[in-house]
Amino acid sequence: MKPQDTYKHQGLRKLLIEELRAKGIRNEAVLKAVGEVPRHFFFDSAFLNFAYADKAFPIGAGQTISQPYTVAFQSDLLKAEPGMKVLEIGTGSGYQAAILAKMGVKVFSVERQRSLFRTAQHILRDLNSTAKVFYGDGYKGLPAFAPFDRVLVTCGAPDMPEALLGQLKPGGIMVVPVGKGESQKMMRILKKDDGSTEVTDHGVFKFVPMLPDKASAG
Ligand code: SAH
């Protein structure tokens, strides 16, 4: 059943925006989207009270909905503008996809767990979100829809996923948490017009791992 979005939820989102501001998020377009997307729609009804805490939360299949701060931080780093095509790897709950779509971005999001893909698809439909979700292996990206203006990886990649850089337009930006252990470094890669790249490091975050293709994982 579709949940309701009440004044109480809207009030909780205002508080969340203030918390994100206090933690250093300054991007008004991102904060506006946080105010407009009902994060509690992405939670099981038993856990609605947790939806507006600035915390990651389990969404089943051993995965999590990213912490709002992380979603806001990545959305800001991506420097996505309305109308741009963005490839997201790791749909998970669909919340990050919904935030970018609210910002006017054309979102193409890939998830490797079928149950999460289905749930996210339903929720995004309930929200009338323009974000499109695909079931598949993020390491392969979405060649049929490439090239993209931006690529956002929301799971921890053990190594730089080079194939995804190939689906990025010249002048495009990829944001990806890279690291083999418990935590990753948030990397931003700018692909220059001549195809060379410029990489910057934006601090340490913790993501669930980017896993190999189901078929090759056995
Ligand atoms: N963006 C999500 C965060 C999800 S957590 C949100 O807003 O809720 C990361 C997700 O990446 C998990 O759902 C996990 O199943 C998915 N994932 C891991 N490896 C993947 C791969 N190779 N391709 C696509 N998705 C992958």
Q: What is the pLDDT of residues 11-45, one digit of tens each?
A: 999 999 999 999 999 999 999 999 999 999 999 88
pLDDT on residue 218: 40
> Ligand 1, from 111, 134, 160, 186: best to mutate by most atoms within 8 Å of Cβ?
111
Tally of CB atoms within 10 A around 11: 11
- Tell me whether the omega of the peptide bond preceding residue 147 falls within 30 degrees of 0, making it cis: yes
Does residue 211 line the site of ligand 1, with CB under 6 A? Answer: yes
Task: Compute the mean pLDDT over every residue in the chain, rounded to the nearest whole number.
Answer: 95
Tell me if 111 CB under 6 Å of ligand 1. Answer: yes
Q: Does the C-beta of 112 come closer than 6 Å to ligand 1?
A: yes
Average pLDDT, stretch 68-72?
98
Residues with Cβ < 8 Å from 72, sequence gap 6 or more? 20, 25, 27, 30, 31, 34
Does 208 score more than 90 pLDDT?
Answer: yes
Tens digits of residue pLDDT in 87-99: 999 999 999 999 9
Ligand 1 pocket, 65 CB below 6 A?
A: yes
Q: Give the integer Cα–Cα distance in Å for 71 and 175.
A: 12
140 Cα to the center of ligand 1, angstroms:
14
Examine the residue annotation and report whether 66 is marked as an active-site residue of this protein: yes
Which pTM was predicted? 0.97
pLDDT above 90: residue 209: yes
What is the band of 194 on the pLDDT scale with cuts at 50, 70, 90? very high
Task: Identify the three-state secondary structure at position 151.
Answer: strand
Domains of the chain: 7-205 (3.40.50.150)
Find the catalytic residue in 66, 93, 109, 129: 66
If you average pLDDT over residues 48-55, what whole number do you get? 93
pLDDT tier at 49 (50, 70, 90 boundaries)? confident
Do 116 and 91 meet the contact criterion of CB atoms below 8 Å apart?
A: yes
Q: Are 70 and 78 in contact (CB under 8 A)?
A: no
How many alpha carbons lie under 13 Å from residue 172 in its C-beta half-sphere?
Answer: 21
- The predicted pLDDT at position 1 comes to 67
- pLDDT, residue 65, reads 95
> pLDDT tens digit string along 77-125?
999 999 999 999 999 999 999 999 999 999 999 999 999 999 999 999 9
